[in-house]
Every structure is written in C-alpha cells, then in structure tokens.
Amino acid sequence: MYLCISENAGIMIEISSAELQSNTQKYLELASTERVLVRADNNETFELVKERYFEPDEEFYNSLSVEEFRVQAHQMIERLYKLPR
C-alpha cells in the first residue's frame, strides 16, 4: 500500500489488485471517505468510488424527454429550411 499526495487530487491510497482481493471489505469502507486507487497487473489504474445518489434539481425537472427533444428539433429544422411536412 502506498500513500500518495497530489496537489490536484489530495491524499489517496494506492494498492495492488492482490491487496484488494485480500482485504476487499477494508478498502470498500475506506473508499467511502478516501480516494483508493487499485493498480492492476497490466499497469492499468482503477479508482474505487462510493456510489452517489443523484439528487434531481429544478433543471432536471425542466428538461425535455427524448421524444420532446426530437419533435422540437424537427420543428426547428423545418423552420430553418422551410421543409414541407
């Protein structure tokens, strides 16, 4: 296990995939408060991230459905190019 300090990311812990397999619960719990990076055998790096609940805001409730967007986009294109229906 390595403790890394980065100006951009702050303090994080880097572990091997073997260490994660040996102490999974420990690092899952730690990932709720700290950044935990897992270095895989092929030198790829992954980050354990706690799932965050998406809290809808006013902008979310005012957004268009896919169908509403499609209809409005088609209407705008028709107006721009004066295409007959």
Query: CATH number for the domain including 20?
Result: 3.40.1620
Q: How far apart are CA 79 and CA 69, in angstroms?
A: 15
Question: Does residue 34 fall inside a structural domain?
Answer: yes
Question: Tokens 């730690």 appear where?
Answer: 30
Question: Does residue 13 fall inside a structural domain?
Answer: yes
pTM of the model: 0.53
Q: Are the CB atoms for 48 and 28 separated by under 8 Å?
A: yes
Domain count, the chain: 1
The whole-number pLDDT of residue 59 equals 85
E strand map for the chain: 2-6, 10-16, 35-39, 45-48
- Tokens representing 16 are 């091997």
User: One digit per residue, pLDDT tens: the chain, 85 residues?
Assistant: 666 665 566 678 899 999 999 999 999 999 988 889 999 988 899 999 888 777 888 888 888 899 999 999 999 998 898 866 6
* Residues of the domain holding 41: 2-48
